[in-house]
Amino acid sequence: MARRVRRGGNLRYALLSVVIAMVLWIVARGGSTHETEYDIPVVFADLPDTLVITDQTAKKINVRVRGSRAAFRAVTDMQYVENVGGAVQGRARYELDGKRLGLPRGVRVVGLSPAQLDVVFERVGRKNVRIRADVQGEPPDGFELGEVVIEPPRVWLTGARSRVLALREVVTETIDVSQLQEEAEREVTLSIGTEHVWLEEEQTITVTVPIQPVAPDDTAGTPLRRGRTG
């Protein structure tokens, strides 16, 4: 009887030892040093309304961090925020600081690449330009294209001043008339054709494409008449 109790006691001690060993292993794993790296986006805060960013040496930075595995569980999506509230027109250089990432306790930055960021600021400009309809194809035999109507015919653009002032027009998406046998109305998007310029106000652009039968007098050797496109 005493031997049974002793054997049962030994089994309990053995199981307890296994449990303790597993707990110590888990704690050791959680406390061991771990190192990894992230590519995180650069975000600019407090950009003055009178300026637009036209160039930057990096849109993402590589961050190498070190810490315990347990601490890494608290690391969520990161981004590097650079305050540019005091920016003026021209080129500026910002030294990157890992402390701004706000990492949890137990995780520290051991490397940043690049270590600095060059940014180009340009003044904002605006301009009113015409819209040109990109009409392609020829109507089917016996039909012709009339006067294309765009509503509104012009839009205001805003953005980097040098690029805005260089624009004379914006173009609609392509409208194919090769299968049309009657007037068609299309809501279209616009192609500005350059970066750092955008529509000052989002609005619906409508293009009316009049397709009409060729007049009987025009069918004998007269080329099909093309309408104007905006």
- For residue 23, being part of any structural domain is answered with no
Residue among 149, 145, 171, 167 at smallest CA distance from 157: 167
Residue among 65, 57, 45 at smallest CA distance from 116: 57
**Looking at 90, 114, 138, which one is the last position of a domain?**
114
Question: Whole domain around residue 204: which residue ranges?
Answer: 123-218
Residues 132 and 209 in one domain: yes
Residues 59 and 136 in one domain: no
Residues 54 and 104 in one domain: yes
Tens of pLDDT, residues 193-209: 999 999 999 999 999 99
Stated pTM of the model: 0.71
Low-confidence ranges of the chain (pLDDT < 70): 1-32, 70-75, 217-230
Q: Is 94 exposed, middle or buried (0-12, 13-18, 19+ CB in 10 A)?
A: middle
- For residue 184, being part of any structural domain is answered with yes
**Looking at 71, 87, 114, which one is the last position of a domain?**
114
Q: CB under 8 Å to 97, separation ≥6 — which residues?
A: none
Tens of pLDDT, residues 45-94: 999 999 999 999 999 999 998 887 766 666 677 899 999 999 999 999 99
**Looking at 66, 89, 114, which one is the last position of a domain?**
114
